[in-house]
Chains A and B, each alone.
Chain A
Amino acid sequence: EVQLQESGPGLVKPSQSLSLTCSVTGYSITSNYWGWIRKFPGNKMEWMGYISYSGSTSYNPSLKSRISITRDTSKNQFFLQLNSVTTEDTATYYCARYYGYTLFDYWGQGVMVTVSS
């Protein structure tokens, strides 16, 4: 069974970087696309970006200057880094496996990240 699990600090200070790990079991990240999505307080959801089976990436233009998605295929993990965070980046962050190129069929449980001094 495909399982994804997010991990990382739950509290980040403003202007610092947010770094999260998505650990995948039951499926290789060298297949499919893998994405990050976040859900803000109040339920608005935002697609952040993806990393493909080949390692190529695509990001939401709203984040393009601050975001980086990378991977470690030996550990079957992929990572999110978001730089220069503000309180507006407070959200629950999800990693997910793509179904095709545009849908998500497996999601992690989500990790809540608060940006606060």
Chain B
Amino acid sequence: DIRMTQSPASLSASLGETVNIECLASEDIYSDLAWYQQKPGKSPQLLIYNANSLQNGVPSRFSGSGSGTQYSLKINSLQSEDVATYFCQQYNNYPLTFGSGTKLEIK
């Protein structure tokens, strides 16, 4: 199975700041990487797929980048509604595997 190592586990930032979340795959996943957002008490929402393609309706302050084994999610101009847990998922190979999540809070 492909292991996804996500960091940091938690993150506290101020409104308006830019934050970065990283995912490292145990092997090359050829940009087959998605990011999800799960707000407290809600179900996960797909934010980004193919490492850098924004899902319909997702604000443009979210962006993804990376290739090979290293990927990142960037949130510009942090808003209060961005408080959530974010996790990555690789889909280059079955079984699908997920990162362990990053809990984002506002300072």
Asked if B44 lies at the interface with its beta carbon under 8 angstroms from chain A, I say yes
User: Known contacts being A104-B46, A107-B43, A109-B43, is A47 close to B97, with CB within 8 Å?
Assistant: yes
A-B contact count (CB 8 A): 46
A: number of interface residues (CB 8 Å)? 21
Interface residues of B (CB under 8 A from A): 32, 34, 36, 42-46, 49, 55, 85, 87, 89, 91, 94-98, 100-101
A94 touches B43 (CB 8 A): yes
Bound-state CA distance A61–B43 (Å) is 25
> What is the bound-complex CA distance between A104 and B49, given in angstroms?
10
A108 and B43 alpha carbons, distance in the complex (Å): 6
Least Cβ distance of B14 to chain A in Å?
24
B95 near A45: Cβ-Cβ < 8 Å? no
Residues of A with C-beta under 8 A to B49: 99, 103
Nearest CB of B to A105, in Å: 5
The chain A residues found within 8 Å of chain B, CB to CB, are 42-47, 58, 60-62, 94, 96, 99, 102-105, 107-110
